[in-house]
Structure 1
């Protein structure tokens, strides 16, 4: 799926089939989106899994420890 297809969908100028919806959902979930179902407390929505601060902390943690090296002892 290309960016133009997604833009058309967001503007209401086109529909996505089930496979495209699933691919888009999977990609957004992979990058930290949380899909919230409708409940008696509110409607459906999308939220970030982590706050910006936590994302920065995770990125820092991933860079700790130095470069990857050989494991042979």
Structure 2
């Protein structure tokens, strides 16, 4: 799910949905809950980064950021 593929957008999203549902053992409610939680986490990270930039601080690289490079 992290690497872009050559699939058309809809197919990529369908595949990502199928993977998310499978990770939650087919439970749609759990899947939605997990996606909401992940979104809230990412929003929180974004707010922290925006605050650091506004304050003139350079955020320390995270483990995830070094994996993406």
Larger RCO (alpha carbons 8 Å, 6+ apart): 1
**Larger Cα-atom Rg:** 1
TM-score, normalising length from structure 2?
0.30
Point out the structure with the larger strand share: 1
